[in-house]
Amino acid sequence: MPDDYSFEEAADGGGEVRFAQLFAPGKDTLVIYSFMFPRSPGDRRPAPAGETGKLPLAETPCSSCTSILDSLDGAALHLAQRLNLAVVAKSAPERIRTFARERGWHNLRLLSSRNNNYNRAYHAETPDGSQLPILNVFVRDGQQVRHAWATELMFAPRDEGEDPRHVDSIWPIWSVLDMTAQGRGDGSDLPLLRYD
């Protein structure tokens, strides 16, 4: 690891946590999902309800990332039996905490990377500062930590009109739809931050 990044905890009480501290004793695998909060500049899907929905649209969270995190929140307790899981967003800890309450997330370790360059170093931020949804896996071996895997399919060439499918393996919506005769459809109506 080139840097022992310092993150801000989004949980009540907040505080600083170093990258190395994300590894619990006896658990040598760390999975970090980079949550697009703020969303992609071109994302015009509706804002969420609640306090988070009062933010300018460009500063609200990504609907797709939110859908993934809705599912990961339920899986987090199971995953914690074998690995460390964290979610990193470039937004302020207070905003992340508020949105987590609005979504009913209780099991995710939510962190702010607003004051470090983790997102840029691990392909979750473009040179212009736009956020990208990437899942990275790190492995600790003694005192060394190495980057073991990333959802790099995001950057692979794809056919015109085809969405990147780099995190589909952890995204239940698409896994279920892929088993149906209709498949994914055009995908324009899924996922949303609210269904009125």
DSSP 41-58: TT--SPPPSTGGGGS-GG
Q: What is the pLDDT of residue 191?
A: 83
The answer on pLDDT for 155 being more than 90 is no
> How do residues 42-59 score in pLDDT, each as one tens digit?
999 999 999 999 999 999
The answer on pLDDT for 151 being more than 90 is no
The answer on pLDDT for 154 being more than 90 is no
Q: What is the pLDDT of residue 148?
A: 95
Mean pLDDT to the nearest integer, 64-77: 95
- Which structure tokens are listed for 178? 């892929």
Rg for the chain, CA atoms, rounded: 17
Residue 60 vs residue 156, higher pLDDT:
60
Measured CA distances, 161 to 27, 110, 158, 169, 186 (Å): 40, 32, 8, 20, 9
The answer on pLDDT for 37 being more than 70 is yes
Mean of all residue pLDDT scores within the chain = 91
Measured CA distances, 66 to 6, 52, 146, 148 (Å): 24, 13, 28, 25
Q: What is the pLDDT of residue 91?
A: 98
- Mean pLDDT lowest for which of 64-78, 109-123, 148-162? 148-162
